[in-house]
Every structure is written in C-alpha cells, then in structure tokens.
Copies of this chain bind each other. A is one copy, B any other.
Amino acid sequence: MVKVGIFGATGYAGYELVKAILRHPEAELVFASSTSYAGQRYKDVYPCPYDLPLIAPEEAPLEQVDVAFLCTPHGASAPLAQRVLQAGAKCIDLSADFRLRDPAIYARWYREHPVPQLINEAVYGLTEIYRQQIAQARLVANPGCYPTGPLLALYPFLRKNLVRGEQIIIDAKSGVSGAGAKPSLKTHFVNVHDSFSAYNVGRSHRHVPEMEQELSRYGEQPRQVIFTPHLLPISRGILSTIYVSLDPSWNQEQLLDLWHETYAGEPFIQILESGKLATLAHANYTNRCVLSLAPAGVEGRFILITAIDNLLKGASGQALQNMNVMFGLEETLGLVA
C-alpha cells in the first residue's frame, strides 16, 4: 500500500484526488490538509460521505507517507515540496511551481521562484511522454490543464518535424471548475450559465509559456502558440481546437497512423478514426485524452481536436497516473481508462 498525503484537499483537484485515493486498491490516505477548512470533516465541505478529518498543513505527518500531492496554489507549493522531499517522501505538485524550467520565465509570469534549487530535479509529469523519467523522479510537476491535450496531440508531429510555421493556434474551451472553487463574479452561476466568453487571449495566459517550453522541446525549432481560452457553461472538460500547418506530403490517414504508432499500448490515449471528432462526452469522468483530426480544406492545414476532463487527465487523474508509475503499480489503478 502506498501511503498518501494530500495538501490542499478541499479544492476541486483535491476533491477528485480524495475520491480516487479512497477507491484505489493499493493506496491509503494518511492525511488531507486544508488551510481554509482545517478542523472540519471532509463531508462538511463536499456533498460526500467521507468522515475524514481535515488538518492544517503545518500538522501534516510527513514521516508517515510515501508520497504527498500538492493541490495548493503556485507559490505555496514550492516550499511544501521542499518539506516533503526533506521528510523522505516523493512529491507530485499540481501547481505551476515546477513546470517551467527557466526560473526567469517563472519570475516573469508568477514571481521570484521560492525554491529555485529544486527546479532542475523536477520532471514534467506528462506521463505518456516522460514516463521513464517520472518512474525515477522524486518530484513531479504535474502539467497544467490546458497544455495536456494540445501537447499530446502535437508531440508526434513535432518529433517528426512535420509542423510548418512558427505559430500554432489553440482555441480552447474549458468548464468552470478550471477557475477554482473560490466564489467570484467570474464563477457566479448567473454570469456563466447561458453565456460563453474568452479571456486572457493571445499570449497572455499563464499556460502559454508552459506550452511553448514543451512544444519547443519536442522538435527542432522554437514554437509560439496563439492561445484563446474560453469559459464553457459546464462544470468540467476541456476541448481544444488546434489549427496547424503540416508537411503537405502527409495525409490524414498517415497522420492518424503516426498517432497510433506513437501511442501504441497507451491505456489513456483514445484516437478516433477518420471522420470522427473528439467531444467532451468522450473524455469527461475518465482519465482519457481523446485525439482526433480533420483536414482544414486547405492543402497542408489540419484541425486537431482533443478532449480531456480537466480535473482528471488535466489534474488529479494524471497525478494519480504518475503516482502509479512512480511506485511501480499498474498504471490504470484507481483510474477510468
């Protein structure tokens, strides 16, 4: 049994993780911490039957766990990660604190990095791409919700140098849980329901440097993304519509074949056949990343459509997948493939 601690257990990612760990046949929840709800029971925070105590993060018995998940905000995660590693446990951080390899870029988008000495050790937790490093890692930086789908869709094409042009357009649409559990005008039901809106467009969202870092690593040249996140009037799921120019000598079936070849045997990658397009219904409540593509009607241009559940493959599901990898467990344990 893997002994697990969860920091930030009362955000949406924390809730998904608590549920998943409690149902996981080879894991045991040792503690769940919450700054806002310390001292309360879990069932008083979410509509669930879990009569779990919530402790203050300072009181976390780190010496009793094999791994700690950090569902805490950026800035708060990094020092916690240090504590966890010093206590001898492994650490899976769901915040942005260890995703960016360059502390100067981190500083530009967030603030001065609180624990820069750990950045080099962290492995970017996109399981299908970095599985071997994750298996050896002490510290995993779980990917952002928006990057996960586009990176998995584009990786095979970048690695083969099929992508033409520097810019890739990613038009993404996310459910509201991506905005977090804290009430605000942005998440008020009446402001979201029956509406649809874009925000942080262009290259202004914090997931842009994360995507550009990774996309630039997979191939031989730097990449920029023009990124438009939108807010869907639903609770969960991210669908990304990606506009990309590819080597015009490759046709749709060859591109699909390349996806199949790259992801052969992957339990959480679902590649749709020609003529079908990924929808949120394919991905929600599972840990799958669903990939589809179609010709754009102009030679060499393609539309890739990818769907994930932002709380699972885009957060807690992938984090648990990484835990399974790190502890040599079957990768699908506790997850819906």
Contacts and interface: CB of A to CB of B under 8 A. Distances in A.
Interface of A: 12, 23, 47-49, 167, 169, 171, 173, 176-177, 181, 183-185, 187-199, 201-204, 208, 224, 226, 228, 230, 232-237, 239, 241, 243, 270, 277-282, 284-285, 288, 294-298, 301, 303, 305, 336-337
A195 B46 CA distance: 13
A234 B194 contact: yes
B282 A47 contact: yes
Copies in the complex: 4
B280 A197 contact: yes
Contacts of A203: 296-298
Given A198-B305, A277-B197, A280-B194, A241 B233 contact: no
A189 B235 contact: yes
A44 B195 CA distance: 17
Contacts of A236: 194
Contacts of A282: 47-48
B226 A303 contact: yes
Contacts of A281: 47, 191, 194-195, 197
Contact of A234 (B184, B233, B280, B284): B233
B177 A190 contact: yes
A40 B298 CA distance: 33
A239 to B, nearest CB: 5
A189 B176 CA distance: 7
A196 B240 CA distance: 10
B296 A199 contact: no
Nearest to A177: B190
19 contacts: A173-B173, A173-B196, A176-B193, A181-B190, A183-B183, A183-B185, A183-B188, A187-B189, A189-B189, A193-B234, A194-B194, A194-B234, A194-B280, A196-B280, A201-B296, A226-B243, A226-B296, A230-B241, A243-B243
A109 B169 CA distance: 28
B226 A196 contact: no
Given A48-B282, A184-B183, A282-B48, A190 B12 contact: yes
Contact of A233 (B48, B176, B199, B232): B232
Contacts of A47: 195, 279, 281-282
B201 A235 contact: no
A199 B23 CA distance: 31
A167 B298 contact: yes
A248 to B, nearest CB: 14
Contacts of A185: 183
A232 B270 CA distance: 23
Given A202-B296, A203-B296, A279 B190 contact: no
Given A193-B235, A201-B296, A173 B230 contact: yes
A49 B188 contact: no
